Homo-oligomer: A and B are copies of this chain.
Amino acid sequence: MNDSRVQASTQKLLELLEELAAFTAPGLGVTRLLYTEEWGRAQTFLQGKMAGFGLKVTTDKVGNVFGRLMGRSPEQKVILTGSHIDTVVNGGKYDGAYGIAAAMIALQDLQKNFGQPQRTLEVVSFCEEEGSRFPLAYWGSGHVTERYDGSEAENCMDADRISLQAAMAAFSFSQSVTDTDGNISKSTGARNDIDAFVELHIEQGIILETTDTQIGVVQGIVGQRRYMVKVSGVANHAGTTPMLMRQDALASAVEMLYVLEGAAKAAGAPLVATSGKLEVYPNTPNVIPGEVLFALDIRHSEEEELECFCAKILSLYHEIAAERGVTLEVIPVLHTLPAPMDTKLSTALEEICLEQGKTYRMMVSGAGHDAQLFAPRCPTAMIFVPSRAGISHSPEEYSSPEQLAAGLEVLTAMLYELAY
């Protein structure tokens, strides 16, 4: 695409992002939680926009919104692209919205420049991904990929004890916009007609910015293991208990976390290990802690490495606990498998970057995305653009127009390759 077209597309992209950012609850940044009023208005807005782009608009039973650009060979499966419309509380404008907006602009540009595609192209605005309202994530892509069937909704409560089922039922999806043919359809959720899924997203990390790279070609989404670890010692007087007569739960947890960091650094990228949450009891300055609870969040792109690392660490923890005379309880909280991206697609993305003269790096996604639910089912690809200072889930989330434009160009070229 020539420069002026790129500029025009970039401008439309930025405008669309600003329009979406306006659909928010009051407060800092963007707050657009599943099945809230602002969420509904955003999805309705998108339906209208997609229809205006000449796409055939459909929704499904959980409120995913699809915009279809019919291909000349409609019997072939669909090339799907998009992201999630929901946000965290006080989030940013780009996380999720960028992937949807860029997909819409890409489809509009492709149609304008190249006419009808060979394969059907479809943009999706997934209803939910973040898990920021209900204790459940990927409610949108999870229905499409048959992770959920809807039965989960009844007993799933938000912080105000409103069930997912009630929130969904109270919300009307009937206010959808007809496409140019006057067709509205409500599908059941699960789809087996997707041939590939491509997601454009902000990096939410600092690697692209730190290495001054325009594009991240994602090779895989990490697997994750999360645990709660409870260390129980003996609370005692901080003044009168000699150092060698203690069963200090915090000193024990400290040794465990010190060992964790060392082991993670020794293992090397892409392994990351974090304790983000730690509670001390009784948490009084002059009382030796009797109990500590801490969270573990460990991620790696290879399941075997992840398994190995966790087993080693937990074994070490049992040794440390035995040595210190404290007890250890490890509660697994989460175990998601790594999701490798399709190598043909990531190779194609590499070639596109080279062709377009863009700097890129092959990299792993340390954060979960809708793409990870598609990866086991069809060829899947993710494209990253830099995040300023790695900030996300914050009003300070930011990527520059140039950075956003670069991602849009790569996505457009990828979709062209897949569908034309």
Contacts and interface: CB of A to CB of B under 8 A. Distances in A.
A241 B283 contact: no
A286 to B, nearest CB: 5
Interface of A: 203-207, 210, 222, 224, 226, 236-245, 248, 250-251, 254-255, 257-258, 261, 264-265, 269-280, 282-289, 295, 297, 299, 333, 365-368, 390, 392-393
Given A250-B275, A250-B278, A276-B284, 4 more contacts: A206-B236, A238-B272, A239-B272, A254-B261
Contacts of A254: 254, 257-258, 261
Contact of A244 (B222, B236, B265, B280): B265
Contacts of A299: 238-239
B280 A261 contact: no
A180 B112 CA distance: 111
Given A239-B366, A250-B257, A258-B254, A245 B277 contact: no
A366 B240 contact: yes
30 contacts: A204-B240, A206-B236, A206-B242, A206-B245, A210-B245, A237-B393, A239-B297, A239-B299, A239-B365, A239-B366, A239-B367, A239-B368, A241-B366, A242-B269, A242-B270, A242-B272, A243-B261, A243-B264, A244-B265, A250-B257, A251-B261, A258-B258, A274-B288, A275-B289, A276-B284, A278-B278, A278-B280, A278-B283, A285-B295, A286-B297
Contacts of A236: 206, 390
Contact of A207 (B226, B242, B286, B368): B242
Contacts of A244: 265, 269
| Shortest 4 CB-CB contacts between residues of A and residues of B | A205-B240, A239-B366, A240-B366, A285-B295
A227 to B, nearest CB: 9
Contact of A237 (B250, B273, B289, B367): B367
A147 to B, nearest CB: 20
B257 A243 contact: no
B272 A243 contact: yes
Tell me the number of copies of this protein.
2
A283 B257 CA distance: 15
Contacts of A204: 237, 240
A136 to B, nearest CB: 16
Nearest to A287: B276
Which of A204, A226, A277, A279: most chain B Cβ within 10 A? A277
A224 B239 contact: yes
Contact of A276 (B205, B272, B279, B289): B289
A257 B276 CA distance: 17
Given A287-B276, A288-B274, A265 B245 contact: no
Contacts of A272: 238-239, 241-243
Nearest to A250: B275
Nearest to A278: B280
Contacts of A366: 237-241
Contacts of A277: 280, 283-285
A272 B264 CA distance: 31
B285 A240 contact: no
A198 to B, nearest CB: 20
